[in-house]
């Protein structure tokens, strides 16, 4: 009887632990030819993960830099849903420290 209870308790524990795990829905593999800078994942709970860090949002930002002949495209994983194309561009090309701070806690995972 005691052995049966231990087995049932063990199985229930395994089931509960398994239910709490977040699973990967889609993988974006690092690829220079596709402009993917880092491997990242879409999780089944709607979050995004890269380098063992979880982000709430995946932003696709398109715009044109001053004096550029064509548009640029960034994919950013972030917890700041208000990031703009201009914010990301300035963080990359500006020499001012305060303009790079807007990207703290965010990562550019794709760029074209």
Predicted pLDDT of residue 17: 45
Predicted pLDDT of residue 41: 98
pLDDT in tens, the chain (112 residues): 656 654 655 544 444 444 455 699 999 999 999 999 999 999 999 999 999 999 999 999 999 988 889 999 999 999 999 999 999 988 888 777 676 677 889 999 999 9
Predicted pLDDT of residue 15: 43
Let me know: does 40 contact 48? Beta carbons within 8 Å: yes
Predicted pLDDT of residue 29: 97
What distance in Å separates the CA atoms of residue 54 and residue 34, rounded to the nearest whole number?
A: 23
| Alpha helices, H only, the chain | 2-19, 85-93, 97-100
Take residue 100 and report the two structure tokens written for it.
Answer: 């790079």
């Amino acid at each position: 009887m005691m052995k049966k209870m231990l087995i049932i308790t063990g199985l229930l524990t395994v089931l509960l632990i398994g239910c709490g795990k977040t699973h990967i829905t889609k993988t974006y593999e690092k690829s220079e030819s596709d402009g993917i800078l880092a491997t990242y994942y879409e999780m089944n709970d709607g979050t995004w993960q890269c380098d063992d860090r979880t982000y709430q949002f995946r932003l696709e930002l398109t715009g044109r830099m001053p004096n550029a002949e064509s548009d640029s495209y960034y994919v950013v994983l972030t917890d700041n849903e208000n990031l703009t194309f201009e914010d990301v561009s300035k963080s990359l090309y500006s020499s001012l420290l305060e303009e790079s701070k807007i990207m703290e806690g965010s990562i550019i995972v794709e760029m074209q």
